[in-house]
Structure 1
Amino acid sequence: MRSVEDLIRAEDAGRRLKYVWFWGHEPRRDGRIGASCLSQWWPAEFTVDDLVFPTAEHYMMHRKALLFGDGETAARILRARHPNEAKNLGREVRGYEDEVWAAHRFDIVVAGNLAKFGQHALLGRYLLGTSDRVLVEASPLDPIWGIGLAAGDERTTSPRTWLGANLLGFVLMAVREQLVGESLIGGREKRDITIVEHDPTWAERFRAERSRIRKALGDNAIRIDHVGSTAVPGLAAKPVVDIQVSVADANREETYLPQLEAAGYHLRVRQPDHRMVRTEQLDVHVHICPSGGKWERDHLLFGDWLRATPADRDAYEKLKRDLATRDWFDMNQYAEAKGGLIDEILGRAREWADRTGWSVDHPR
């Protein structure tokens, strides 16, 4: 859907629309990635054509200046220290014409946000996790990129009563669909979620798959670990064994992907610093990540903490069982719903790691 009119037609057809409202770029107090990352002003440096942009706002205004041939202002925008400064410089572009800008602005902002969310894995996962929800910039000050209303106003719950065009929301939904095509090989999947009691044979399956992976990759696999819920004794889980393979550079697929595909795995996820391949039966997921990186550390730490902390293990199981009773648009939406508790648990785990000297080399 690309317009308010499209949303109204969907509503009239009886479709129940669900929303994510956002405005402002301040991070959450708990450090989690939230809806504020959707803001043009969110600080997430990305590179396009060898130029570094501090925010999507910088990109938008830089491309606006270039559109009208104002290279001098474009250069000043790149040097702007704050997105508001970039925005104000964009208003000074020489030769500006409303009709020309209106014809190009949507595609320009799509391109900037594709780079922003495509080059930052955590941001990309958040955006994909919004699934089929309508993204709404609830800005009471902007009737073009926002809806001219603040979140909490009862009129925000129906596009029929919005006071703005919500262009940024539609941009982000377009970006989301492009990222689905680029990062989820085969597109979205809606699968039944079943949580079962812990099965000791999961450890045996991991060992068998580890041998298969080691034979395929040799020393290119720096380490191979059993991660996720099936690696935690006593924790109920989906019957899918998660395996983490650490390599020197996850973005250099030629060093591992052909070998894994030859061994019978199929590529499902392609994200910055992360790939996921799986078995044809969908019962084993193999995550490839950089050795020494955040992905490697967080997944190993999360498992070690759950094994050592029954209260958090039980809380995590309770959440998963609850979520399994609900209907989800796709697996990304289910994963995003677990994010809040996972981040809380990881916060406690990191404090414990700092206090005890835990490391990824801790024996398991």
Structure 2
Amino acid sequence: MTTIFVRINHIGSTSVEGLIAKPTIDILLELPKDYAVNDIAQLLQNDEWILMQKDDKQRTLDLGKGYTPNGFAEKVYHLHVKPLGDWNELYFRDYLRQYPNVARQYEALKLGLKEYFEHNRDAYTYAKSDFVMEQSQKAKLEFAGRYLPPEH
């Protein structure tokens, strides 16, 4: 297997200074568009990453580390593996960094949703999705071309 990663980024709420966040580090791992999804999933699972979601059509993987039978470990990680070019998380992160007022709106949304979805991660994520996509679309216009690798 010769897959080489293209880029790795810290994303999610912990990547935005001052934003309230769960103690979970979100990582975006970008791979070549033709990466071997099943091989990478197996490689990461062999390194004790838990496969939480796999989308063969979109060629994405979501994995976790730090989950125990008794709850969360001291450190918890989510690894989002995507083909190069799927940059919504980067757009959203940078938009929150650029616009603290939008970050505060996002924080208020998260706190409001926590009451209802504290033990349902998927529903919590879905409930935030309209806000995230709206801000990501604004960022795509403002930051067009920002994430292209240097050779482009």
Q: TM > 0.5 between the two?
A: yes
Q: Which residue of 1 aligns with 2:43?
A: 259
Q: Which residue of 2 aligns with 1:233?
A: 17
Separation of aligned partners in 2, 1:267 and 1:251: 17
Q: Does 1:276 align with 2:66?
A: no
The correspondence for 1:340, drawn from 130, 133, 152, is 130
- Show structure 2 runs of 5+ residues with no match: none
Equivalent residues in 2 for 1:195-214, closer than 5 Å: none
Separation of aligned partners in 1, 2:112 and 2:34: 34
Q: Which residue of 1 aligns with 2:141?
A: 351
Contact preservation (8 Å) 1:250, 1:289: no
Distance apart, 1:260 and its partner CA: 1.4
For each residue in 1:22-52, what CA deviation from the matched residue of structure 2 results, as whole angstroms up to 9, or x when unmatched?
Answer: xxxxxxxxxxxxxxxxxxxxxxxxxxxxxxx
For each residue in 1:69-100, what CA deviation from the matched residue of structure 2 results, as whole angstroms up to 9, or x when unmatched?
Answer: xxxxxxxxxxxxxxxxxxxxxxxxxxxxxxxx
Answer 1 or 2: higher relative contact order, Cα 8 Å, separation at least 6.
Answer: 2
For each residue in 1:157-184, what CA deviation from the matched residue of structure 2 results, as whole angstroms up to 9, or x when unmatched?
Answer: xxxxxxxxxxxxxxxxxxxxxxxxxxxx
For each residue in 1:259-278, what CA deviation from the matched residue of structure 2 results, as whole angstroms up to 9, or x when unmatched?
Answer: 21222212110113211111
Contact preservation (8 Å) 2:3, 2:31: no
Contact preservation (8 Å) 1:250, 1:274: no
Distance apart, 1:257 and its partner CA: 2.1
Q: Does 1:306 align with 2:90?
A: no
Q: Which residue of 2 aligns with 1:319?
A: 109
Distance apart, 1:246 and its partner CA: 0.9
Moved more, 256-265 or 231-240: 256-265
Q: Does 1:288 align with 2:81?
A: yes
1:242 corresponds to which letter in structure 2?
A: D
Q: Which residue of 2 aligns with 1:165?
A: none
Q: Does 1:246 align with 2:38?
A: no
Separation of aligned partners in 1, 2:119 and 2:129: 16
Structure with the higher helix share, 1 or 2: 1
Structure with the higher strand share, 1 or 2: 2
TM-score, normalised to structure 1, is: 0.35
> For the structure 1 residues 255 and 247, does the alpha-carbon distance in structure 2 shift closer, same or farther, using more than 3 Å as the test?
farther
For each residue in 1:276-322, what CA deviation from the matched residue of structure 2 results, as whole angstroms up to 9, or x when unmatched?
Answer: 11114351010110012x3xx11111111111111111110110011
> For the structure 1 residues 349 and 249, does the alpha-carbon distance in structure 2 shift closer, same or farther, using more than 3 Å as the test?
closer
TM-score, normalised to structure 2, is: 0.80
The correspondence for 1:360, drawn from 125, 147, 150, is 147
How many residue pairs get matched?
140
Distance apart, 1:258 and its partner CA: 2.6
2:110 corresponds to which letter in structure 1?
A: K
Question: Aligned Cα RMSD in Å?
Answer: 2.4
Contact preservation (8 Å) 1:222, 1:248: yes
